[in-house]
């Protein structure tokens, strides 16, 4: 079968030319944004821990990358296939986005590495001047693949598009991310379902550790940071084993994986709490695929710095708006004649210019503007909550902010049910 596999990797021999000019050099035409700050190349990417909250484990930090400085805690809008759904780069920058996420698996299949390489890397291809984090594709291999066989050095599987045989492993994932030129690359790991048997969880941890060692040895793009990933489900022993082994490899930062895979909220919080004590304080910490606004506040309080989640734009396409009091359906008849904004007090473009009644009308007649406006609002709301947390951490008032936010936020029925409170 190996002879028929398509390897998800660029052709060998390509010399990576980063699309980031050195300080003082003119920007290439495709990156000359009138609204973007100048790009620069920092030879020493690093995370600085600026302050720790006295009432919790919340941290205020700063992460330096080749394409800019990221203040943490930070939320990363998800641009899996090179685009944050329904939003353009100008809108993302205007609402305060400092970093977006892309995906190795999807981008390597479409448009393919030849195209992205010809554009000078992912930044040039999508015309985005700020930092990018790329997921390794491990999650997609295990969630999208119709048929897969786990081998010592990776996974044989079939494309979710046409069923063609493919192979992706640590070497391939890191090489693709090197040519993408992302500021932060993730190691290739195994992410089993939250309800996987104990034996399967143990094997996933062992493979994740083994693959992490292989990822650690691969070449990187100039200035590119690599984050390790801690697996282990909600098993204390496996989380500790994986965290200790991964941190011993001295990656630039660490992610908590195996969350946002269908587990109830208490189990998700437990997984984070099990891993966090073993993560070094002087490195950035990233909870993958999380979460709702209230969950972000609670996860920051548990010592996490970075987050990504598809929820803001995904639920927007179904007509659901996030607010600081919870979510509500704009498509419903209750707002048919409501001429207030999507959320009172919100400063986003949608709330400053359009009413709930108008947005509801757009959604119900299937006008694209409707889902775009809700996507703008939801994404702005997530970013604004993160900005508020940074402000309160700097002022020493995070504990009060946390109590007030959680008290005023009404979770969904699904979350309440997972807590046993519905």
Tokens encoding 361:
């009308």
Active-site residue 252, yes or no? no
Which of 53, 135, 183, 305 does the annotation list as catalytic? Answer: 135
Q: Of the candidates 365, 324, 359, which has an alpha carbon nearest to the alpha carbon of residue 344?
A: 324
Q: Using alpha carbons, list the distances in angstroms from residue 83 to 47, 88, 161, 366.
A: 26, 8, 19, 21
342, exposed or middle or buried, with CB in 10 Å at 0-12, 13-18, 19+?
Answer: buried
Give the Cβ contact number of residue 263 at 10 Å. 19
Which of 183, 305, 308, 384 does the annotation list as catalytic? Answer: 308
Asked if the peptide bond before residue 328 counts as cis, ω within 30 degrees of 0, the response is no
CA-CA-CA-CA torsion sign (409, 413, 417, 421) = positive
Q: Are 207 and 215 in contact (CB under 8 A)?
A: no
Active-site residue 183, yes or no? no
Which active-site residues does the annotation give? 135, 308
């Amino acid at each position: 079968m190996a002879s028929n596999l398509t390897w998800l990797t660029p052709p060998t021999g390509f010399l990576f030319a980063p699309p980031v000019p050195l300080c003082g050099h003119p920007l290439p035409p495709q990156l000359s944004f009138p609204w973007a700050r100048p790009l620069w190349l920092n030879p020493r990417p690093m995370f600085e821990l600026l302050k720790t909250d006295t009432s919790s484990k919340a941290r205020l930090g700063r992460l330096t990358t080749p394409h800019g400085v990221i203040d943490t805690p930070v939320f990363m809008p998800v641009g899996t296939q090179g685009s944050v759904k329904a939003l353009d780069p100008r809108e993302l920058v205007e609402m305060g986005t400092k970093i977006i996420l892309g995906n190795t698996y999807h981008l390597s299949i479409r448009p393919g590495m030849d195209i992205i390489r010809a554009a000078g890397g992912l930044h040039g291809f999508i015309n985005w001047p700020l930092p990018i984090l790329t997921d390794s594709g491990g999650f997609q291999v295990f969630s999208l693949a119709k048929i897969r066989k786990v081998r010592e050095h990776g996974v044989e599987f079939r494309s979710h598009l046409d069923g063609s045989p493919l192979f992706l492993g640590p070497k391939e994932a890191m090489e693709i991310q090197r040519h993408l030129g992302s500021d932060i690359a993730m190691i290739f790991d195994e992410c089993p379902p939250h309800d996987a048997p104990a034996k399967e969880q143990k094997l996933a941890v062992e493979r994740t550790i083994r693959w992490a060692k292989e990822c650690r040895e691969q070449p990187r793009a100039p200035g590119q940071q690599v984050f390790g990933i801690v697996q282990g489900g909600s098993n204390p022993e496996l989380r500790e084993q994986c965290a200790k082994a991964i941190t011993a490899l001295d990656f630039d930062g660490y992610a908590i994986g195996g969350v946002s895979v269908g587990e109830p909220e208490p189990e998700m919080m437990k997984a984070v709490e099990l891993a966090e004590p073993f993560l070094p304080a002087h490195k950035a910490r990233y909870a993958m695929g999380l979460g709702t606004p209230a969950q972000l506040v609670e996860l920051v309080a548990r010592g996490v710095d970075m987050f990504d989640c598809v929820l803001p734009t995904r639920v927007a396409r179904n007509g659901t708006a996030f607010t600081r009091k919870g979510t509500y359906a704009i498509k419903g008849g209750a707002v048919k004649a409501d001429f207030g904004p999507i959320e009172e007090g919100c400063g986003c473009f949608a709330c400053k210019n359009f009413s709930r009644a108008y947005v509801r009308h757009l959604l119900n007649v299937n006008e694209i503007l409707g889902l775009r406006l809700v996507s703008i609002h939801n994404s702005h709301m997530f970013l604004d909550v993160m900005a508020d947390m940074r402000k309160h951490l700097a002022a020493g008032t995070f504990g009060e902010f946390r109590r007030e936010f959680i008290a005023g936020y009404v979770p969904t029925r699904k979350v309440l049910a997972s807590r046993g409170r519905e």
